[in-house]
A and B are shown apart, each in its own frame.
Chain A
Amino acid sequence: MVSRRDLFTGAAALVGAGVVSRVGAASLPEAVMVHSAATQVPPPPPNGRPFHPVVTLNGWSLPWRMNKGVKEFHLVAEPVVREFAPGMKANLWGYNGASPGPTIEVVEGDRVRIFVTNRLPEHTSIHWHGQRLPNGMDGVTGLTQKGIQPGKTMVYEFEAKRPGTFMYHPHADEMVQMAMGMMGFWVTHPKNPDFMKVDRDYVFLLGSYDIEPGSFVPKTSTMLDFNLFTFNSRVFPGIDTMVARQGERVRIRVGNLTMTNHPIHLHGHEFEVTGTDGGWTRPESRWPEVTTDVAVGQMRAIEFVASDLGDWAFHCHKSHHTMNAMGHDVPNMIGVAQSEAAKKIMSIIPDYMAMGSTGGSMGEMEMPLPDNTLPMMGGQGPFGGVEMGGMFTIMKVRKDQKRGDYSDPGWYKHPAGTVAYEWTGAPLEAVRNTSSGGQSMPAAAPARKVEFNVRKPSGHSGH
């Protein structure tokens, strides 16, 4: 693993670091590579205008060089291997060894020059999503530029005019290249570092992939029926937790590059949406929320004061987005007596085990899965299985978390009497309504006894 310090003190110390065309291309800034999926906290900017760096969840920020007042970055589009969670790796396309690519951080008014080298087998381009820039720098192949051919490098140059939250992604063979994981985060910090200053500023992109269990490469023709929903191409339980010291102001910026909306939900706190695609929201326009919908192609910045200690769930509220790969056509077995049939099945398939009669919970069952496949839900918490996957992580608020310390403090130690407990008294009689309507539709006869079977939603095509 590469420590953040190594990353920014010199490329020579980097494991897996590479340099594009050192020979005969002295004008190119170094393309720093990282192959780890761990969160790497950037140090304060070594040069240029000052800003408070963001923390890319399970990612890193791209170092730059100042060249006569111009901030120069070097992105290399290339095939990469991304670990979604321990036990599963995906062969993706990304930038500088990772997918999503490194976060680019600049300051309002910076002159930015980005070298983009294409090491993919097909042409590409980069669209700087949300930026104000000269039309010819917008990165739409055919419309505003020629595609960057394999092996070629093209240069984008513009002024980072508007502060805010942005993204970058190809605008060439998009369906394939984005399905393959080509995306990255971009933050333009305000000129005044104290403007809307927060203590912690987390960023990540929402992504979705369709990787058949047992395979490694996403299906690039999937339109809606994705089976892995990711924060920065990581899934629970492989995602890092977010942490905050009690009382700190925390900002989380989310960009959505999937094909569906994601209601992002934080437990235990209210937040306000302080930024959108268009910039910062005026304070008088904000309202408190616990869930904000991040629509397709949108960015949202939410802010809150981490006032309440604990381990707070943070996730997309579409329940199947907090699952890893699962069968879309698995019939509901709830309530189905299986033991007789199971005996027959076991006579033909000895390793068969009947499941689902009491619901979908796999509990702590550990059964062999196809290669390179994560359990549909997993993660062990202090009280047992968390039974989550995909777009799920935890916001850990601690009294003694040091400022600037992003390390995982472990599980929250609940004060006595603050954890849900089991009722040990006499069973309580539930009161049931016996009428079948209110005043407008009074019951004509005693309510008919209706056998009612609750059925969990299954299948999630057409989000």
Chain B
Amino acid sequence: MKRFAVTRTSRRAVEPALRNCALVLAVSVLAGCASLSDDGAAREVSTLTQPRTGFGVAPERNERDAQAGREQVARLLSAPLTPDAAVQIALLNNRGLQTSLAQLGVSEADFVQAGRMRNPGFSFSRMRGGDEVEIERSVMFDLIGLLTIPLRSAIESGRFEGAKLSAASEAVRLAGETRRAYFNAVAAAQTEKFMRQVVTSAEAGAQLAQEQAKVGNWSTLDRAREQAFYAEAMTQYARSRHAATAARERLVRLLGVWGAQLDVKLPDRLPDLPSQPSEAGALEALAMEQRLDLQIARRDVEATARSLGLTEATGFINVLEAGYASKSSTGAPRENGYEISLELPIFDWGGARRARARATYMMSVHRTADIAIRARSEVREAYSAYRTSYDVARHYRDEVVPLKKQISEEVLLRYNGMLASVFELLADSRDQVRSVNGAIDAQRDFWIAETELQAAINGSGGAVSQSMAPGANAGPAAAAEH
């Protein structure tokens, strides 16, 4: 930033009138500027996240905030976790999000700073040459800064707005990721429990086979087959146990809990399917209003429009925003900024710069249109995934599982009549467990698809489309035959 020092050299004295004048000017500029908010703009971010995730955000800026947060998290963790509670904890506790919120504070400070003039400077020098003593006094005043306050304020305001949207976008993304991790963790735990039943069933079979062989009813071959099935079931169970641990740890990371809080209680089962799926309706239109990436892009268009207008008007004031708000990303803070320079229009009357500003503006416009088109498509795809996973989960619940249950009942009746053996009964019970696991997977897929749909409408979309692969619980193909 270039500074322009107002210097006045006097060999006698500084005139009081000028001093007074400078002070009046400074005070008048300072009086009209923005001030820092008391919560680092969290309230405004909350306004954005509340309708999208159900919860606001709370920056943790001091020990009092931290204490309140810890208490709320402890309270939420005391009961089996619900999806909403998980989201709430993540919004309170996730350090990544806190980083974004702190970043927001930085932006706000920049914005406030931009509305303030630099303090006037005063310099005094005394020089002596021979008999002559020269005393130079000067008052320095940031004139360029003063002239560019409205400009800088407008730009910083836009950047601040962008930061708020980014923080909200981050929060919404975190909420979605947390819900996904939550459903995965609950489903994996449920699957683990059912795989334990497969092991029990295989264990019973192996035990019976051993007894059968011991009393001479069975050959070593028959016994070994049943034993092998058990051995295989154990490895599968071990895998499912690790899968449950991994899913739980993913959730724990998002919740940002550690130490004593690690004892997160998950419910025994996933939430029931809603009785009706929501209709497609005007989801695309809704997404156009709600999506945060679109809002960020729109704001960017407005900002570039303003700078274009400015460039058109002045020509020799060079305002370049180095970047537009891109899709939110964690990690290093964005390194975009701006530079304002005043030039004397002697050689360049600004034609190229105006062309550049226009092109930059058009870039923003096209980018926004692109994001909108993608968003519409993402909503349609997410709805299809949502609807399909709902139908599949309901089909599992209403058709597949009851049928398997009926089969099990019939096999038991056949066992009662000595029409089927206990080994068939056990093989069937394992079959049934597998279909139950399929149902759990389907139910989990539904809730994740629901989360993705919300993200496509409310957040920034971009979620990976779920594959509709069948539950990956293929156990040993069939029970050993006897």
Contact = CB atoms under 8 A, between A and B. Distances in A.
A213 B412 CA distance: 12
Interface stretch (A275-283, A363-371, A399-407): A363-371
Contacts of B201: 344-345, 348
B295 interface: no
Nearest to B211: A336
- Size category of the B interface is 20 to 34
A69 B263 CA distance: 100
B426 interface: yes
Contact of B218 (A330, A331, A347, A356): A331
Interface in A371-419: 373, 375-376
Interface in B177-221: 197, 200-201, 203-205, 207-208, 211-212, 215-218
A348 B482 contact: no
A338 interface: yes
A340 B208 CA distance: 9
Contact of A345 (B414, B416, B418, B425): B425
Contact of A355 (B216, B218, B418): B418
Contact of A370 (B414, B423, B429): B414
B208 A334 contact: no
A332 B214 CA distance: 13
B208 A338 contact: yes
A345 B212 CA distance: 16
B211 A213 contact: no
Main SS class of interface, B:
helix
A327 B217 contact: no
Interface string B424-438: 011001000000000
B421 A329 contact: yes
Nearest to A353: B416
Nearest to A335: B215
Contacts of B429: 345, 348-349
A345 to B, nearest CB: 5
A194 interface: no
A68 interface: no
Contact of A334 (B197, B215, B426): B215
A225 B423 CA distance: 21
A337 B211 CA distance: 6
B417 interface: yes
Contacts of A335: 215-217
Nearest to A366: B416
A430 interface: no
A455 B217 contact: yes
A369 B215 contact: no
Contacts of A370: 410, 413-414, 417, 419
Contacts of A352: 412, 415, 422, 425
Contacts of B418: 326-327, 330, 355-356, 360, 362, 376
B203 A344 contact: yes
Contacts of B408: 349
Contacts of A345: 201, 204, 422, 425-426, 429
A327 B416 contact: no
Contacts of B228: none
A25 interface: no
A362 B211 CA distance: 21
A375 B218 CA distance: 26
A341 interface: yes
B410 A331 contact: no
B29 interface: no
B417 A453 contact: no
A289 B30 CA distance: 129
B420 interface: yes
Nearest to A330: B421
B413 A331 contact: no
A369 B417 contact: yes
A453 B414 contact: no
A370 B215 CA distance: 31
B413 A325 contact: no
Contacts of B215: 334-336, 453
Given A331-B218, A334-B217, A451-B216, A348 B416 contact: no
Given A326-B419, A451-B216, A348 B413 contact: no
Contacts of B422: 331, 333, 345, 352, 354
A299 B413 CA distance: 38
Contacts of B200: 344, 347-348
Q: Which of A331, A338, A347, A375 has the most CB of B within 10 A?
A: A331
Interface string B275-294: 00000000000000000000
A352 B413 CA distance: 10
A422 to B, nearest CB: 29
Contacts of A356: 418
Contact of B197 (A330, A342, A348, A453): A348
A351 interface: yes
A437 interface: no
A320 to B, nearest CB: 12
15 contacts: A213-B419, A214-B413, A326-B417, A331-B423, A332-B212, A333-B212, A336-B215, A338-B208, A344-B203, A348-B197, A360-B418, A362-B418, A373-B419, A376-B417, A455-B216
Interface of A: 213-214, 325-327, 329-338, 340-342, 344-345, 347-349, 351-356, 360, 362, 367-370, 373, 375-376, 451, 453, 455
Given A214-B413, A356-B418, 15 more contacts: A213-B413, A326-B417, A326-B418, A326-B419, A329-B421, A329-B482, A331-B422, A335-B215, A338-B211, A347-B197, A347-B200, A348-B197, A349-B425, A349-B429, A370-B419
Top-8 shortest CB links A-B: A335-B215, A367-B416, A344-B204, A453-B216, A341-B204, A341-B207, A327-B419, A336-B211
